[in-house]
Each structure stands twice: as structure tokens, then as C-alpha cells.
Structure 1
Amino acid sequence: MAREATPKALTFEEGWPLIQEAINKLIDILDGVRSDQFNSEEYMQIYTTAYNICSPNPVGPECQKLYDQYKKTIEDYTSSKVLPYLREKKDEDLLQELVKRWKNHKVMMTWLLRFIHYLERYFIRRKKLPSLNATSLLIFYELVHGEMNNQVRDSLISMIRQEREGEQIDQALVKNVLDIYVEIGEGSMKY
């Protein structure tokens, strides 16, 4: 009977380039630059890479590096792919862009969680750190809310006033923006 191959332990520095390549592909997909999707083979290769980084010591320094890089990736993505687009918009256009960027953020979050789920199962639980989901929600909230809060709030209030004065507004848009804050609150409160 053949024995299964033992997983090859990887350092963070050896494994991260493959994970970063997948993240770059994901960002290109979200930006509409690419239309291809991840196939099961690619997904398993990325997941296995994260597993091989973490498995020798599920609470060790390589896992900490992966967790820290995950946070940095979300911060960089939000700073470079969300905030610049929001800064250019005003009023209803700002709210529409916020909803669009939030949807992209959730897709990115979902894929990143899948890629490095092994980290969630052991390292985060044992270290009692915020989950990957809570971490990404908080980063989005802190960066976007920190810079755009006044503009978003003013745009929402303006639309509500318009409706109270009898004008037609995009009620679904208002609801979607409010849902962002509800979802962030619910997701981050789990921590």
C-alpha cells in the first residue's frame, strides 16, 4: 500500500509569492481586467500553500507572518482600490460607488478566507485573535469610515431630506448603504 506524501513545510517567504499571485489575479477579476475564474486546481494549490506554511507549527511565527500579511493585504487593497474611487465621487454617486466597492470587498474577503482558512482553524483560535472576517470588516470600516464618514453621512441625510420633501430617491441605494454598516457591525461584534 502506498503512503501518502508528507506535506512540504514552507516558510512564509517561500509560500507568500504564490498566494500574492492569486490575490493579484483576484484583484484583476474584481477590476474587470480578467474574466477567468479560479479553477479547483488553482484553489487547492493556494490552500495547500497556506497549509504548508502553517502546518509545521499551527501557532508559530510563520502563521503570525501570514496573519499580518493578510491584514496588510486588506489595508493596501482598501487604500489603493477603494478610497481613491470614493474620493472622486459626491452625493448619490458616492453612495453608489461605496456599495459597489463594498460588494467587491466582500468577494475579495470570501476568496482570501478560502485561501488561508487553515490559519483561521488553528492559529486565530489559539491566539484568540479577531477572525479573518472580523479583521477585514474592521479594516474596511476604519479606513473608509475614517476618511469618508462625513461625506457618506451628508449624502444619506440629503437623500432622506429629499424624500421627506416629496422627491423620488433611490430607496434601495439608501438601504444598501445602511446595510453595509449593519453588516460591518454584526461581523465585527463576533470578535
Structure 2
Amino acid sequence: MAKQTFTIGQVLTAAQMTSLQQTAMGGGSTTAKTASYTLVAADAGTVVQMNSASATTITVNTALFSAGDTVQIQNIGAGVCTVTAGTATVSTAGSLALSQYEGGQLYFNTTSAALFFDIVQTSGMTNPLTTTGDTIYSSSGTTPARLGIGTTGQVLTVASGLPSWATSSAGTVIKVVYGSTTTSTSI
């Protein structure tokens, strides 16, 4: 949905309100594409969704969008979809090549330049666990490592700065008894 200008006293229809609500919630209207596509002014405030098994491009040109306009781009196809600068400048700290189920948002800071914020789905780490009862620990820095489950009777301990399982050493048992005490006071 393109950016709209409203005047004092204007009454909105139900369809206009629905469209505004969808856009405000980040959904906007969705335009499905199956081949390379060049953005048009009407794409402002919408979602352009690519669905192709082959590699595709979405091209961004100047003088189509106003500063502050946004376009969401999603790739649900198996082919890589690349956001390409046509006559506009597109800057990003991430990648302009979107694999399947990746997406991002173009934010136009001028009529000839856009920033692309890629949204990459990631879990944050690769799970090293392989067996029920395994434990994750940091082996060095932020690298996750696996400590396999111990055996019956073993206790978790530290050896040379790393967690490990060891057989419980013989020792004394401390018995804790719960009780209460009363104090009497003479008057």
C-alpha cells in the first residue's frame, strides 16, 4: 500500500482501515512473484514475496519511493533471490542474497538510496547434544561443547578447569536435622 495523506474530517471506509491495519502490523498486502522483478512505486508499504526454484533478482531503482517508505522482501522459493541495486543505491551490513525462507526490509532514507535489513533465521548456536542427559558447556570463549551423560554414581566435578564426571569419593555424610528451638524469657 502506498503512503496515504489524510485530511481533517476525512472518513475512512472499512477497506481503508483494514489496509492500514495490515500495513501497521507489518503485513501490508503481499504481491507474489515467480520471476525476477523490478520494484514499482505501488510496492511501498507492501510485501514482495518471491517463489521460484531458480535464482531471481529484485531490482531497486531511484525516484520511485519517498524517504521513510519501506518494502518487505521474502523468499519462499528454493532459488536464491538477490536484492539488486538498479539505479538506486542499496546498502546493508548483511547479505542481499536471500536463501529460501529468508527475508528483509528495504528502508528508503532518500528517493535514491535504501538500507536493507536482512532477517536471517538462526537459532544462535549449533546444538552439540547427541544423547538424553548430555550437558552443554562453554569450551572456549563462546563455543558450545558437549559433556556426555555420566554413569550411575558419578558426580559432576571440575578437572583442569573443565567440567567432567567422576566417581564419588568416599567421605563423610553430614546429617541435617530440621527442628525448632524455643527461647523462654523471664519477666
Interval of TM-score (by shorter of Structure 1 and Structure 2): under 0.3
Larger relative contact order (C-alpha < 8 A, sep ≥ 6)? 1
Which structure has the greater CA radius of gyration? 2
Considering fraction of residues, name the structure with more strand.
2
> Normalised by the size of structure 2, how large is the TM-score?
0.24
